[in-house]
Amino acid sequence: MSSGKDDAEPSKESVEEIEHIKLEQLDCEKDQSELSGIEATAASKAAWLISVVVSIGGLLFGYDTGYISAVLVTIGESLGHTLSSSEQEMVTSLTSGGALVGAVAAGLTADRFGRRWPIWGSCFFFVIGTVLQTAAYSVAQFATGRFVVGLGVGGAAMIVPLYIGELAPAQYRGRMVAFNNMSVTFGQLLASALGAGFAEVKGEAWRATVGIGAAPALILAGLLILCPESPRQLVSHGKREEAEAVLLRIYPSSTALQREAKIRSIELSLHESTDSMTEESLWTTFKRIFTTPSTGRAVLTACVIMAISQLGGFNTLMYYAATLFSIVGFENSAAVGITVSATNFVFSIVNLVLVDKFGRRLILMTTVLGMALCMMVVVIAFRYIPVNLDTLEVESNNVGWPGTVVLVMIILYVACYSSGVATIAWIGTELIPLEVRAVGTMMNTVTCWGTNIIISSTFLSMMKAWTPSGAFGFYMAICFFGWLFIIFFYPECKGMPLEAVREVFNNGFGVGYSKQWQKEHKHDRKVTTIAIGH
């Protein structure tokens, strides 16, 4: 184990040495083509089917954030009494708290136990939490169920993108990871639709809305048996024959030499990341982020974008959409809330189409500014809506145009959010150097759930203490700050190999460096992939 500068960051000479080792190990004239030669072969349908199966984990995440909105306005006195604002915030934010714990636990155990076992664990917690909520007749039991569900949501949100990224062929990796994000938005839409439908049913139909959420978890747990462990995980545990069998399943037309080259490539990539995580302590790896300036800047950039995606206010619309629209005077607020989920789903597809064409930076600059402007209009509109700050109920039977403006601006805000920072915040792991990517990804996920807790546990209190205009003014300020951060500190890394991304942050935050790189390589015809895992 080294120390000092060598311990903090691999030198340029060490990187060149690793490339030299690749040449010697493969003993071929065209080393790079041999290392990635398997990627040029036709991938099987199995790769897509596996991606679809594990993306059900994203649907679990989306369904949980979607149903609570409708449940809060229909639960009535089912838990013994009408929930106060603080109790609504508590049961909403407890899932985020559980997700924070679940994400950390999954991140720390995934390398030891593989990718599938943490996903099975997530399914288990999701089912148990769903049962606790569905059968709840007290706030305490319902809150406990929300926290347990959060453990499952956080674990799935952490492991599923990593698992897909390691298993997917390079040319499809970006789309496969983005497909998981689309599953999240579809889960939110499904939950909103079911919640609105059951809201029209007399009695305690909200229990059906919650209980249905166990079905995807059970389906995922069953189908996951048919999915293999990732080759990267198998190689890291010395199971080369099993890894080759998985590669043959994904690349059925590949040759034995190509599969061997791929396995050796994985072994070399693990030289810095896996060895540092096993032979060195987790604390040593964690310290690298703070003692190596370039690494720290990379992780900071990823985490700031993730924080903006949460603190900008979107999840208040997911968790409290029905409550919010009832405040501005819509009678069937749960049904109106579906528009938020539907917009989110549609524009997640737009992001999938645009992100590799226009790059991350341009999309972020455009959409985050759009989010700020939409929030500004909402702030103004709420000035004309009479709201009782003690009960958060509208004091008029005819809100009129301000309510319509709020609805339209929120839809536009969601369109900007979903087509931009919603997905790009998760793509941010491509900025993190390989030797700290596991810990860096965990920090990014912790940032997500930590800031999510702040938003979900303060929204109604902010509405009462600061007025609705003040609360949305706060979100506007966060979006505006995010826009400035993107302009001055977020580099465009579209199409860059990992070595080039490392060089970006060796030059400060590298906005100018990345622009120059993009100009010099604008005519290159390369497949852009999302760098998650190997």
Q: Give the number of C-alpha atoms closer than 13 A to the C-alpha of residue 508, restricted to the C-beta side.
A: 9
pLDDT band at 149 (very low <50, low <70, confident <90, very high): very high
The helix/strand count (H/E) of the chain reads as: 24, 2
Look at residue 414 in the predicted model and tell me its pLDDT. Answer: 92
- pLDDT, average across residues 196-211: 84
* Statement: residue 517 has pLDDT above 70: yes
CA distance 430 to 112: 23
Q: pLDDT tens digits, residue range 51-78?
A: 888 888 888 888 887 788 778 878 888 8
Look at residue 174 in the predicted model and tell me its pLDDT. Answer: 62
pTM of the model: 0.73
Look at residue 312 in the predicted model and tell me its pLDDT. Answer: 92
- pLDDT, average across residues 413-418: 93
b/e per residue 496-508 (b: at least 16 CB within 10 A): bebeebbbbbeee
pLDDT band at 434 (very low <50, low <70, confident <90, very high): low
Look at residue 338 in the predicted model and tell me its pLDDT. Answer: 79
* Statement: residue 142 has pLDDT above 90: yes
Q: pLDDT tens digits, residue range 281-331?
A: 667 777 878 888 888 999 999 999 999 999 998 878 777 776 777 776 666
Q: pLDDT tens digits, residue range 468-481?
A: 899 999 999 999 99
Q: Which is more confidently placed, 207 or 243?
A: 207
Give the residue ranges of DSSP H helices in 359-436.
Answer: 360-382, 401-418, 421-427
- pLDDT, average across residues 503-507: 82
State in words which class domain 44-227 has: mainly alpha
* Statement: residue 10 has pLDDT above 60: no
User: Average pLDDT of the chain?
Assistant: 79
Look at residue 497 in the predicted model and tell me its pLDDT. Answer: 60
- pLDDT, average across residues 402-414: 88
* Statement: residue 8 has pLDDT above 60: no
* Statement: residue 532 has pLDDT above 60: no
Look at residue 334 in the predicted model and tell me its pLDDT. Answer: 64
Q: Are 443 and 104 in contact (CB under 8 A)?
A: no
Look at residue 442 in the predicted model and tell me its pLDDT. Answer: 79
Q: pLDDT tens digits, residue range 77-91?
A: 888 888 888 888 888
Longest dimension (CA), the chain: 79
| Tokens read off for 255 | 């040759």
What is the CA 60 to chain-centroid distance, rounded? Answer: 13
- pLDDT, average across residues 126-137: 93
- pLDDT, average across residues 336-360: 82
Look at residue 68 in the predicted model and tell me its pLDDT. Answer: 83
Residue ranges, comma separated, of all CATH 1.20.1250.20 domains in the chain are 44-227, 280-534
Look at residue 6 in the predicted model and tell me its pLDDT. Answer: 42
CA separation (Å) from 256 to 248, 262, 343, 384?
Answer: 9, 10, 46, 70
Q: Are 509 and 301 in contact (CB under 8 A)?
A: yes
CA distance 137 to 79: 4
- Which percentage of the chain shows pLDDT scores above 90? 20
CA distance 183 to 57: 8
**Superfamily of domain covering 280-534:** MFS general substrate transporter like domains (1.20.1250.20)
pLDDT band at 171 (very low <50, low <70, confident <90, very high): low
Q: pLDDT tens digits, residue range 15-47?
A: 444 444 444 444 433 444 444 566 655 566 777
Count of residues in the chain: 534
Closest to 490 in 3D by CA, of 309, 247, 342, 248? 309
